[in-house]
């Protein structure tokens, strides 16, 4: 056990001080406290400013830590000049390394400061934690993760810079909430970046929700939490949070929130009316703003009106909404001089929905040329337009051209439309072959995903696509009177989703084809019970 008597400690410190020029003083007769309080801090700091200072600073800390590995004894009060100097050195050392471009040494010195036994005050620890997190996040140098396993048995051990930075920032937020540290809004900004980069948006939402009032402005808090839930595809929660901002007060007509709320509504046709209202409010509050915002608002309004038309109760209302949808999309196109891909695509799509197929094809062809054939959804749209015009050979040519330019992972939608076109022409065996190819692609993607390969977001959910594929095969086998194969496909659907409305509807189709009308009606009713909005021809 180490001796803690003042005389013994003084002998160790005196040797270190003499070798590093910390002080010109020596002590005698054990009067350590008096001598240390008389140390001239300017003289102690002098080596730190001589000859870009990191090496000197590190030497001082090495000497003092070797003399006092357990930190200063209690006889050294908080007003001790040596303690203040050592604490300042712990903060200064990593900054000096950063100035010299020595990032790995800076990381080591930050860890050294946080793990030291020198009882740094809470404010100093907070400053060190924040600066360390910033270095880990933005330095661009991946350092070795700390070996904490022996120190934190059973606790979380960060594996890389990002995880270590997140841990530090979350500790700081906890201190804010416990009122052990002054609030610093930049900490939540850094944490937002870190968790966003790691894809952990749900935990980020929780961190926002745990913040005490006043750390962030209410509007900023709501908007950021909404973005977190939106990224995690909890659209309804995100929309409700945005509505709280837009309900009343000075922020009720904020363009950023209005456009985001309208966009969320656009992605769910049920909310078409709300989406249109938010887009109109955005347009009413532009006050001569930038053209890009106006184009975005008109685009969202056009999509919302198109969605509204689907649920219109009268033909007059539907026609009015469809007409206005084309008008506002046309305005957006003129503003962008016909070079905005989003507007062009939706103009083509809306014309196709309204059976204005020649105009739809014209816009789709222009879009293909602008994009250089790089967008899969434009190829799909073009093929569907050709198919609606009964130009099946042309449509299949577009699909084949797209398949030639598309990787295996992204062939699903193309194979589905190709099979549907083959079936509509009575080429049932060819369609079965194409659907079999599609199922193989889905199986490949599913296996890869289960094996840990990351699947990009943005294309059709494979589970839904697989059920739709088996349903289409049921219809094909019914057309060929292959009842056993059709029933096998239904069993596949139920294995994926036991309560699938499509599986019940497919069962009804088989009963109807066999002439069992009561059984067919019962199966159709079950499908509607499971999914009231379920519609199949």
Q: For tokens 């001569």, what's the residue?
A: 288
| pLDDT confidence of residue 240 | 93
For residue 72, pLDDT over 90 is answered with no
| pLDDT confidence of residue 16 | 43
Residue with the bigger pLDDT between 276 and 459: it is 276
DSSP string of 130-169, one letter each residue: HHHHHHHHHS--PPPPP--TTTSTTS----SHHHHHHHHH
Distance CA 114, CA 100 (A): 21
pLDDT in tens, 48-64: 443 367 777 788 777 87
In a domain, 128, yes or no: no
| pLDDT confidence of residue 25 | 31
In a domain, 166, yes or no: no
| pLDDT confidence of residue 358 | 95
In a domain, 230, yes or no: yes
pLDDT in tens, 336-358: 887 889 999 999 999 999 999 99
In a domain, 245, yes or no: yes
In a domain, 247, yes or no: yes
In a domain, 405, yes or no: no
Candidate from 35-44, 287-296, 393-402 with smallest mean pLDDT = 35-44
Report the mean per-residue pLDDT for the chain. 81
| pLDDT confidence of residue 14 | 42
In a domain, 76, yes or no: no
Question: pLDDT band at residue 277, thresholds of 50, 70 and 90?
Answer: very high
| pLDDT confidence of residue 484 | 95
Domain hosting residue 208, numbered range: 201-252
Question: pLDDT band at residue 12, thresholds of 50, 70 and 90?
Answer: very low
pLDDT in tens, 181-223: 787 888 888 988 888 887 778 888 888 887 777 677 788 888 8
Overall domain count for the chain: 1
507 exposure class (CB count in 10 Å sphere: 0-12, 13-18, 19+):
buried
CB atoms within 10 A of CB 430: 15
CB atoms within 10 A of CB 67: 16
| pLDDT confidence of residue 79 | 63
In a domain, 73, yes or no: no
């Amino acid at each position: 056990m180490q001796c803690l008597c003042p005389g013994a400690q003084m002998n160790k410190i005196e040797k270190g001080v003499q070798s590093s020029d910390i002080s010109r003083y020596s002590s005698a007769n054990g009067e350590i406290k008096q001598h240390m309080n008389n140390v001239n801090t300017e003289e102690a700091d002098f080596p730190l400013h001589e000859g870009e200072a990191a090496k000197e600073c590190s030497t001082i800390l090495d000497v003092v830590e070797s003399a006092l590995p357990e930190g200063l004894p209690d006889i050294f009060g908080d007003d001790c000049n040596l303690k203040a100097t050592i604490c300042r050195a712990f903060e200064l050392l990593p900054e000096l390394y950063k100035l010299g471009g020595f990032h790995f040494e800076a990381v080591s010195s930050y860890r050294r400061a946080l793990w030291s036994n020198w009882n740094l005050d809470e404010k100093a620890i907070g400053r060190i934690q924040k600066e360390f997190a910033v270095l880990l996040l933005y330095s661009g140098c991946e350092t070795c993760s700390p070996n904490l396993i022996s120190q934190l048995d059973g606790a979380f051990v960060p594996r890389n810079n990002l995880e270590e930075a997140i841990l530090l920032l979350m500790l700081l937020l906890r201190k804010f909430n416990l009122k052990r540290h002054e609030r610093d809004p930049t900490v939540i900004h850094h944490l937002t970046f870190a968790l966003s980069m790691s894809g952990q948006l749900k935990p980020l939402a929780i961190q926002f929700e745990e913040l005490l009032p006043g750390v962030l402005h209410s509007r900023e808090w709501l908007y950021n939490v909404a973005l977190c839930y939106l990224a995690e595809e909890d659209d309804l929660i995100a929309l409700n949070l945005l509505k709280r901002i837009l309900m009343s007060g000075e922020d009720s007509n904020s363009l950023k929130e209005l456009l985001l709320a309208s966009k969320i509504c656009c992605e769910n046709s049920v909310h078409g009316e709300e989406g249109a209202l938010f887009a109109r409010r955005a347009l009413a509050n532009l006050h001569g703003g930038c053209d890009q915002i106006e184009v975005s608002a008109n685009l969202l309004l056009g999509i919302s009106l198109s969605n509204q038309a689907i649920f219109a109760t009268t033909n007059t209302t539907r026609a009015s909404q469809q007409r206005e949808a084309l008008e506002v999309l046309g305005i957006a196109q003129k503003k962008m001089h016909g070079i905005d891909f989003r507007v062009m695509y939706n103009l083509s799509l809306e014309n196709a929905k309204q059976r204005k197929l020649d105009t739809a094809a014209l816009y789709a062809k222009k879009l293909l040329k602008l994009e250089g054939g790089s967008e899969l959804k434009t190829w799909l749209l073009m093929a569907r337009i050709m198919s609606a015009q009964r130009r099946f050979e042309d449509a299949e040519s577009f699909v084949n051209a797209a398949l030639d330019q598309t990787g295996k992972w992204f062939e699903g939608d193309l194979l589905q439309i190709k099979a549907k076109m083959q079936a509509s022409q009575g080429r049932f065996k060819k369609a079965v072959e194409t659907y079999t190819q599609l199922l193989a692609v889905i199986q490949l993607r599913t296996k890869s995903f289960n094996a840990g390969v990351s699947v990009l977001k943005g294309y059709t959910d494979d589970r839904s696509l697989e059920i739709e594929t088996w349903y289409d095969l049921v219809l094909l086998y019914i057309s060929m009177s292959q009842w056993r194969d059709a029933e096998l496909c239904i069993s596949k659907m139920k294995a994926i989703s036991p309560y699938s409305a499509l599986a019940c509807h497919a069962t009804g189709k088989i009963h109807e084809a066999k002439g069992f009308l009561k059984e067919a009606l019962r199966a159709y009713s079950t499908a509607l019970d499971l999914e009231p909005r379920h519609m199949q021809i």
